Amino acid sequence: MARGWIVRFPIRNMIGDRLDDFIGSWSAEEAADFDNAVAVFEEIDAEQWQ
């Protein structure tokens, strides 16, 4: 059996169930920080595949 992370979500909190509500609760600063983090991750990921 392969080892790895197992993430279990309660049925009522499944991804996509209330994701829009969760993201909508972020401040503009938190949303910008998240966008910046995603951009950095995507840049690092792209560099790994070159």
Query: For residues 4-35, b (16+ Cβ closer than 10 Å) or e, as one string?
Result: eeeeeeeeeeeeeeeeeeeeeeeeeeeeeeee
Is residue 48 scored above 80 in pLDDT?
yes
Average pLDDT over residues 29-44: 88
Average pLDDT over residues 11-19: 54
Residue 26's pLDDT is 72
Q: Tokens standing for 2?
A: 């392969």
Give pTM, 2 decimals: 0.48
Q: What percent of the chain has pLDDT over 70?
A: 50
